[in-house]
């Protein structure tokens, strides 16, 4: 079913929305139905996490929001610019041409930093601007600014092989931010990092989010990480992924290490774990 006739009252409130998915499903050619029907509304400037068991369709949902994959059915609306969500929908069966070109309002950070090993950190970060044909001097300044925002101002001329895993992920984040997107999609970006590095990147990401006011949709397997970072944790069912629970995390802002060790944090982690448990029922725990 494709939703085409959104009631006017809902349409008006969409001006405050960054992302709206309605009845979205995804069936791959191999017959696997990965997602849905999936409904998700994300307000501008919100930080939400998608949490769910392996294979429940989290990456599929992100890829559909990014326009990298077309839904099999349903409606996808994404605010790519400073204004309201775009009236154009991604229709089932095809992806709009140019839907996810760099500079079109979405930054994507993958689990692997996927840096080009043969060129400098600055050139890696500048890539989306090169593809968007931004003049070199301007692109260089913007790449350096993005690198400074992730604490890597001194590493612009370094090569990826000279960086730690955490630093590579910072470069990947700078590359996603360099086009100043409205929305940042992050697919388990810190999963491969050690815990201390991960905590540090969590704090730096929160600081960036507060400063830049981006909408962030963050995919993770970690209850602890989702509660620490997000204003809302959206818990998904096992495949095909649907919404199991939508839990608002309310605490004193800005968050910091005091929150991580607080009773409120433990309580939220317990609540989110309890909401997640049914998604794992019937699955092997090995
Ligand atoms: N391109 C594809 N073709 C066929 N099946 C796919 C494709 N991409 C994903 N799938 C299947 O769809 C289901 C959902 O995959 P997806 O990667 O979205 O899940 P996920 O929740 O992100 O998993 P994980 O947490 O392990 O990364 C899985 O069963 C996967 O095998």
Strand order, beta sheet including 183-187: 106-109, 183-187, 215-220, 47-51, 232-236, 243-248
Q: Would you state the pLDDT for residue 283? A: 60
Residue 189 CA to ligand 1 center (angstroms) comes to 16
Q: Would you state the pLDDT for residue 251? A: 92
Average pLDDT, 10 consecutive residues per value, the chain (286 residues): 38 72 96 94 97 94 94 92 43 36 74 95 96 94 96 97 96 95 95 94 95 95 96 96 96 90 97 94 57
Q: Which of 31, 52, 59 to mutate to test the pocket of ligand 1 (most atoms within 8 A of CB)?
A: 59
CATH of 32-105+204-286, one of 3.20.20.70, 3.30.360.10, 3.40.50.300, 3.40.50.150: 3.40.50.300
Q: Name 245's bridge partners.
A: 235
Q: What is the pLDDT of residues 82-127, one digit of tens each?
A: 443 443 344 443 333 333 343 368 999 999 999 999 999 999 999 9
pTM of structure: 0.88
Q: Would you state the pLDDT for residue 105? A: 87
Question: Domain map of the chain by residue range?
Answer: 32-105+204-286, 111-180
Name, in order, each residue with C-beta under 8 angstroms of 34's C-beta and a sequence gap of 6 or more.
26, 27, 28, 55, 57, 60, 239, 240, 241
- Nearest protein Cα to ligand 1, atom 8: 60
Q: Kindly provide the ipTM of the predicted complex, given to two decimals.
A: 0.97
Q: Would you state the pLDDT for residue 88? A: 37
Query: Which residue from 52, 35, 59, 40 is spatially nearest to 277, judged by alpha carbons?
Result: 52
Q: Would you state the pLDDT for residue 262? A: 95
Q: What is the pLDDT of residues 265-283, one digit of tens each?
A: 999 999 999 999 998 886 6
Residue 12 vs residues 9, 27, 224: alpha-carbon distances, Å? 5, 31, 36
Residue 190 CA to ligand 1 center (angstroms) comes to 19
């Amino acid at each position: 079913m494709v939703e085409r006739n959104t009631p006017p009252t809902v349409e008006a409130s969409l001006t405050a929305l960054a992302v709206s998915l309605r009845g979205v499903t995804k069936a791959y050619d191999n017959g696997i139905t990965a997602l849905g029907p999936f409904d998700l509304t994300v307000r501008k400037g919100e930080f939400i996490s998608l949490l769910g068991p392996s294979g429940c369709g989290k990456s599929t949902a992100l890829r559909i929001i990014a326009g990298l994959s077309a839904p099999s059915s349903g409606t996808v609306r994404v605010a790519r610019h400073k204004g309201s969500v775009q009236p154009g929908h991604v229709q089932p069966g095809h992806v709009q041409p140019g839907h996810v070109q760099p500079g079109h309002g979405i930054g994507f950070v993958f689990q692997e930093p996927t840096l080009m090993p043969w060129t400098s950190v600055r050139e890696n970060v500048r890539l989306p601007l090169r593809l968007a044909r931004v003049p070199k001097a301007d692109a260089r300044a913007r790449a350096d600014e993005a690198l400074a925002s992730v604490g890597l101002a001194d590493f612009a001329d370094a090569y990826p092989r000279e960086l730690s895993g955490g630093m590579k992920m910072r470069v990947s984040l700078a590359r996603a931010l360099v086009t100043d997107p409205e929305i940042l999609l992050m697919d388990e970006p810190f999963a491969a990092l050690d815990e201390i590095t991960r905590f540090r990147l969590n704090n730096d990401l929160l600081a960036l989010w507060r400063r830049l006011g981006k909408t962030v949709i963050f995919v993770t397997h970690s209850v602890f990480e989702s509660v620490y970072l997000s204003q809302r944790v959206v818990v998904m069912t096992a495949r095909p992924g649907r919404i199991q629970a939508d839990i608002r995390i309310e605490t004193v802002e800005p968050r910091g290490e005091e929150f991580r060790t607080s009773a409120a944090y433990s309580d939220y982690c317990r609540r989110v774990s309890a909401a997640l448990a049914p998604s794992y029922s019937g699955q092997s725990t090995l």
